[in-house]
């Protein structure tokens, strides 16, 4: 129930629409009962041979279960209806009944349509709001969260699980209101016709509820398993499509096919188990209802044929009312199943929404306007948590101060902590010890958005979007003038190849920029950073995967971008950092050397000299 009440918080803004929908549901139920009740005077008109009497109200018999006041009210209503319908000939009565039936069914369907449309607005609004909340929260979560989650699993929760929750909302606000109202209306009608037969009809309900409860427990377990299996399918699909080049390069199509087929087979088995359990509920409920109906027909037939306690038309009207109970009872049998699925899916959704961001603004966070003096790492230590729960230290007691406008190069073997060093600056992660200061202010006290707004990043793996060149360069800047975009492309050495594309700046570059070469993607990324115009720049091995010609063009663009900015460059090729103001050499998470290119080369036993000699051994 806790999941249900939490979902209600998303429905609360639409309470007026829900109330209006409920009102339509009440009116629909009343007109549904009226449509069944009208069969009684219709049958009397058609099959009674004598003229139907319109007389005074009879005194209710004593010693019966129903209070006299209720019986009197029923007789008054019946008398009013009969006075209207049966005044005149049988032909006149038949015409009035037919007109009344048309009106009742018309109103019944109008209210049914209105209720369905209004509820659909609420359902679709809920799905939209839930997905938006999930998407917004995912953006607020730190990088460490995504390191431990499969992308396909997250996609499945935003898409599939929200759909399942929507079905639960339908069950809650439509089925749990509409069907009980119909049951109340038809039971009330049946009760006024024969309280004995109505009490007999109640025999079926304890058995139905017992079966529904047992099925619901099994379904809850299977529903959670089904959503997890769908997430596995989505994960495999997303990974395969994203890495299709690797799959083809290693000729692993058949391997991936078998892996995907294994996941779909697991989902197939789970969905079959769930379908078997779910579909057992409806026929079992109907069978019990039919068995009760057969007993009622036998018992009621005796009341008509032997004891004369009911008119034939009333008995048939009673049967219509009782058998009209079957569809809502069946729906209520299914609603428990849907609520169990809803609960399992809602739990998976709130697992994400309840995850608190590891990186978030402190109370009273200050906005960073720009860097004025320096960036300082003071005794900074950072460690990743492994799957076993142990910590693996990546940076250990880092102390370094960078002046405004300095170009700092970071070199070292793989796994030495270079990327982690720069990832701590925009607070993708927080150090476990020590702190980073900008102009003497701890970056943890700064507003995260303003901090990252002052930092531009060009990564080795350039991330572009399946959009136009223009929108990729002006990412997030909807009103950016075209002149500035062209100027950024020109400075980034990207203008010439953009102009050669079929639609120029309006050319769509494909998913992750697949229609461009590596060097072209990198220059688009630099143009994007130029347009942002941040005072701090980070280059994470931006030229390591490029050919010589592309590297020269990208290097030129980088040098223009680094002018008058505080820059950090992670370099694989040491030739690209000869002119750095300072080079930090990292090894096993520590700064083991520091200085300019020429100074470090003189330290013949240093790591930098060793790396340099390994790179240029053939020169």
Q: Where are the domains of the chain?
A: 2-353
- If one compares 152 and 246, the residue with the highest pLDDT of the two is 152
- If one compares 160 and 110, the residue with the highest pLDDT of the two is 110
Determine which of 2-16, 247-261, 342-356 has the lowest per-residue pLDDT on average. Answer: 247-261
Per-residue model confidence (pLDDT) at position 347? 85
Q: How confident is the model at residue 218 (pLDDT cuts 50, 70, 90)?
A: low
User: Which of these, 488, 424, 410, 491, lies nearest to 452 by C-alpha position?
Assistant: 424
Distance between CA atoms of residues 181 and 168, nearest Å: 19
Per-residue model confidence (pLDDT) at position 463? 74
Per-residue model confidence (pLDDT) at position 285? 63
Determine which of 156-160, 191-195, 409-413, 578-582 has the lowest per-residue pLDDT on average. Answer: 191-195
Q: Residue 424 in contact with residue 449, Cβ under 8 Å?
A: no
Per-residue model confidence (pLDDT) at position 205? 57
Instruction: Tally Cβ neighbours within 10 Å of residue 243.
Output: 13
Cα separations (Å) of 49 from 44, 52, 310? Answer: 9, 9, 17
Per-residue model confidence (pLDDT) at position 56? 46
> What does the block give as tokens for 517?
């070469």
Helices (H), 12-150: 15-37, 39-47, 68-85, 90-140, 143-147
Which residues have C-beta within 8 Å of that of residue 245, sequence separation ≥ 6? none
Q: Residue 456 in contact with residue 536, Cβ under 8 Å?
A: yes
Of 127-131, 243-247, 302-306, 525-529, highest mean pLDDT: 127-131
Mean pLDDT over the full length of the chain:
78
Of 27-41, 77-91, 120-134, highest mean pLDDT: 120-134
Residue 336 has pLDDT above 60, yes or no: yes
- In DSSP notation, 219-279 reads HHHHHHHHHHHHHHHHHHHHHHHHTHHHHHHTT-HHHHHHHHHHHHHHHHHHHHHHHHHHH
Residue 217 has pLDDT above 70, yes or no: no
Identify the CATH class of 2-353.
Answer: mainly alpha
Taking residues 143-167, what's their average pLDDT?
79
């Amino acid at each position: 129930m806790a999941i249900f009440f939490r979902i209600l918080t998303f429905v609360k803004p639409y309470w007026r629409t829900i109330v209006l929908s409920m009102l339509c549901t009440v009116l629909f139920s009343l007109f549904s009962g009226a449509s069944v009740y009208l069969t009684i005077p219709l049958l009397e008109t058609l099959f009674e041979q004598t003229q139907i009497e319109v007389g005074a109200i009879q005194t209710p018999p004593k010693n019966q279960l129903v209070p006299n006041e209720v019986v009197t009210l029923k007789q008054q209503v019946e008398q009013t209806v009969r006075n209207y319908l049966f005044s005149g000939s049988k032909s006149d009565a038949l015409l009035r009944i037919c007109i009344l039936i048309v009106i009742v069914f018309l109103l019944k369907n109008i209210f049914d349509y209105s209720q369905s449309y209004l509820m659909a607005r609420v359902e679709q609004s809920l799905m939209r709001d839930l997905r938006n909340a999930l998407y917004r929260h995912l953006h607020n979560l730190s990088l460490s969260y995504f390191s431990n989650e499969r992308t396909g699993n997250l996609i499945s929760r935003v898409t599939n699980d929200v759909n399942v929750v929507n079905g639960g909302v339908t069950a809650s606000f439509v089925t749990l209101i509409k069907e009980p109202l119909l049951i109340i209306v038809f039971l009330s009608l049946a009760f006024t016709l024969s309280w004995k037969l109505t009490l007999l009809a109640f025999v079926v309900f304890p058995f139905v509820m017992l079966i529904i409860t047992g099925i619901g427990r099994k379904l809850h377990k299977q529903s959670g398993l089904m959503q997890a299996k769908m997430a596995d399918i989505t994960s495999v699909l997303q990974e395969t499509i994203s890495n299709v080049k690797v799959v083809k390069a290693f000729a692993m199509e058949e391997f991936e096919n078998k892996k995907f087929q294994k996941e779909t087979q697991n989902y197939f088995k789970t969905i079959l188990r769930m379908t078997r359990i779910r579909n057992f509920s409806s026929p079992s409920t109907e069978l019990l209802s039919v068995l009760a109906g057969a007993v009622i027909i036998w018992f009621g037939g005796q009341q008509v044929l032997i004891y004369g306690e009911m008119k034939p038309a009333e008995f048939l009207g009673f049967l219509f009312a009782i058998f009209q109970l079957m569809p809502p009872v069946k729906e209520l049998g299914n609603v428990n199943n849907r609520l169990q699925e809803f609960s399992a899916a809602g739990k998976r959704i709130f697992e994400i929404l309840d995850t608190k961001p590891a990186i978030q603004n402190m109370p009273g966070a200050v906005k960073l306007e720009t860097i004025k003096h320096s960036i300082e790492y003071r005794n900074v230590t950072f460690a990743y948590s492994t799957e076993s729960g142990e910590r693996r230290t990546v940076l250990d007691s880092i102390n370094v101060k960078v002046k405004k406008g300095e170009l700092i190069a970071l070199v070292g073997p793989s796994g030495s902590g270079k990327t982690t060093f720069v990832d701590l600056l925009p607070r993708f992660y927080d150090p476990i010890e020590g702190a980073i200061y900008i102009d003497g202010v701890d970056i943890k006290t700064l507003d995260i958005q303003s901090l990252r707004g002052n930092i531009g990043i060009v990564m080795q793996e350039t991330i572009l979007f399946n959009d136009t060149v223009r929108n990729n360069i002006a990412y997030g800047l909807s009103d950016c003038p075209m002149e500035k975009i062209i100027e950024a492309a020109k400075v980034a050495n990207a203008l010439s190849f953009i102009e050669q594309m079929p639609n120029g700046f309006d050319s769509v570059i494909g998913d992750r920029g697949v229609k461009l070469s590596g060097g072209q993607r990198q220059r688009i990324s630099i143009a994007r950073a130029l347009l942002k115009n941040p005072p701090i720049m980070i280059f994470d091995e931006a030229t390591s995967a490029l050919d010589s010609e592309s590297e020269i063009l990208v290097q030129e663009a980088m040098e223009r971008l680094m002018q008058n900015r505080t820059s950090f460059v992670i370099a694989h090729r040491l030739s690209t950092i000869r002119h750095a103001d300072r080079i930090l050499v990292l090894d096993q998470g520590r700064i083991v050397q520091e200085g300019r290119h020429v100074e470090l080369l003189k330290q013949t036993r240093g790591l930098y000299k060793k790396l340099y000699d390994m790179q240029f051994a053939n020169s």
